[in-house]
Structure 1
């Protein structure tokens, strides 16, 4: 909660300093469909502050959210410049900007789950057919929304979806089963000048028609995000113009670090005495010759409240730990690590990763055919 509060404070200051006309939040207002009252209070207070001095806020629901809950107060806040869109609708969001006299038209599509689309995609179709059907439906909805675009308006789009080719993190809950609920980038080729996406936690651009980007999460939610620079994207655009963008980096989140202490508890206590990573969250891998006592664990957690995980490793268990961690790793991440090891640390190009994943997919299809 403290980190969230600090981020929202930083976002409000950014909006004021940059003289933002509008803020777009592309889903996942909350972490669950039944958020605690404190989280709702924090969101409403932040929304009120973000819309001071004529600024406007547009929010869509994500896969974590209960859509009706997000939009429940829409009638009360719409006059304050807050647009809350919980369920997919055929109506665009329209913003009039007094500062410039311009109008923005936003094709806003909240997380389009199977239930929210009121369409049964499961059944006899294979995964490829399901994905194509889902992607086509999303593309149809986006094209319907883009019908409101005009040459003299700022034309934007936003959604909470998983576009093929995006890089995931461990902390993202799956929004598709077996890869069926993914969207082809062509579904977003609707003539928007800028498309703001939510869901993936890593900030990244999407190879699609026009300028399409995931802002990423404002905070790191798992140690798979350690080292990621969190940011918000500032977009300056006029009707018919090419957007000018600037990535504004955030400083409010705590760093995530991993300690691998082969020297056992003695090494950990030396780190703590040195004050190492005092403000960070820590994933502690601790090599031991004998089991830790509950007293040892409690002392460590009391000495540094940021210790999140304590993972003891005993002699002979290293290989087992390595196999287990690899088994839980996404295929594309395994390939990246293999490439780095073989090339001495170089990062593979995205085209190479995509090619490898397409070969994996072809191999799986071949095996499925042989099994039948």
Structure 2
């Protein structure tokens, strides 16, 4: 059976205030053409269909058109909600859509109920796990702790129990939206940290033949059977070197996996330029970036006059401008932002306690801080999805 694995469409998202709707339409055209031309048997979309819980109408229309076109081809699709989606809104009408072969999996309580597909070698059970916010689904899964490993592990236990009750030889595919250990993140992914731990081990997916992952925006292979498709478009300059693509996955009769990357259209290349303004304007090696979306960081000791206007004459698609003067040797302490770089919310909160009180928090106080941070995150996620 041949699957097309994709994720993280983020329909409705812009790129530094530049609309990406046309680029997203081009991607969906490419997806439909790939499904048709490569004789795909099913499409897998592992979360973050939309960029926010209440997407703009134009994004909803894009999604609606894509669903109709897949249904017209007679190719089933299995789609799950991600941490950017409102699971309730995305799941509206899922029962009716399922009759047309569009299977929306947004309810954690039913994640062990697969979409059953079949080929000449037998059944393939496709399990769609929506994004599982630990503090919201802990009770549903009876997890001992409110963290990603506990709740995703409990969900996968339900999947394996259902699979064990099916006929021998049934192949299994699971969709999940999570941060798996070994994956490389980037700036455009929303933090899903809970309890100080965001990443989960790939071993959670043992027992299934393929895990189609979403959340991380770079296409990557955790193992032969555990892969991220990445986002089809770049959504931050940190993705400058990403090769955007989808996975075309062949599932053999005994669960064998072969996978091919199918590149997606690139609206514009990205370029991160750094240096003094005069150098950026004069360097002939930068001519290749005239048509790129540009992020410029100026290192001049003093801010030049109207630098954005000057840059735009050479780089018409410059989008962001930052200033980072070269060190002079007598700089004060690093900025507050630099001191926070790479530190978790928990570490920042504990540092604040030390700053105010002069002593580090004891284990009980650390637990109180962790619970408070988790509650705030859960309240924010719940408010966004309601």
Q: TM-score range by the shorter chain?
A: 0.7 to 0.9
Check 1:318–1:51 CA distance in 2 against 1; reply closer, same or farther (3 A cut).
farther
Q: Secondary structure at the match of 2:51?
A: coil
- Once the 2 structures are TM-superposed, how far is the Cα of residue 59 of structure 1 from its aligned partner? 0.6
Contact between 1:258 and 1:284, CA under 8 Å: does it hold in 2?
yes
- Residue number in structure 2 paired with 1:114: 134
**Is 1:4 the equivalent of 2:24?**
yes
- Once the 2 structures are TM-superposed, how far is the Cα of residue 226 of structure 1 from its aligned partner? 1.3
Post-superposition CA distance 1:274-328 (Å, at most 9, x none):
85323321111224354344x5534644764521211234464799799568656
Q: Where do 1:161-176 residues align within 5 Å?
A: 161-176=178-193
- Residue number in structure 2 paired with 1:310: 321
Check 1:192–1:308 CA distance in 2 against 1; reply closer, same or farther (3 A cut).
same
- Residue number in structure 1 paired with 2:303: 291
| Among candidates 168, 172, 194, match of residue 210 of structure 2 | 194
Q: Secondary structure at the match of 2:103?
A: strand
Check 1:70–1:319 CA distance in 2 against 1; reply closer, same or farther (3 A cut).
farther
Post-superposition CA distance 1:47-91 (Å, at most 9, x none):
222333211111100111110011113133222210111121334
CA distance in 1, matches of 2:258, 2:100: 27
Post-superposition CA distance 1:198-242 (Å, at most 9, x none):
1111222225xx711111111222222211112111111134331
- Residue number in structure 2 paired with 1:157: 174
Contact between 1:28 and 1:62, CA under 8 Å: does it hold in 2?
yes
**Is 1:142 the equivalent of 2:161?**
no
| Among candidates 277, 281, 285, match of residue 293 of structure 2 | 281
CA distance in 2, matches of 1:18, 1:176: 38
Q: Where do 1:74-85 residues align within 5 Å?
A: 74-85=94-105
Q: Where do 1:322-337 residues align within 5 Å?
A: 327=339, 330=342
- Once the 2 structures are TM-superposed, how far is the Cα of residue 22 of structure 1 from its aligned partner? 0.5
- Once the 2 structures are TM-superposed, how far is the Cα of residue 35 of structure 1 from its aligned partner? 1.2
- Residue number in structure 2 paired with 1:89: 109
Gaps of at least 5 residues in structure 2 are: 1-19, 344-360, 367-386
Contact between 2:46 and 2:79, CA under 8 Å: does it hold in 1?
yes
- Once the 2 structures are TM-superposed, how far is the Cα of residue 120 of structure 1 from its aligned partner? 10
Q: Where do 1:198-347 residues align within 5 Å?
A: 198-207=214-223, 211-262=225-276, 264=277, 266-270=278-282, 276-288=288-300, 290-293=302-305, 296-298=307-309, 300-301=311-312, 304-314=315-325, 316=327, 327=339, 330=342
User: Size of the alignment, in residue pairs?
Assistant: 322
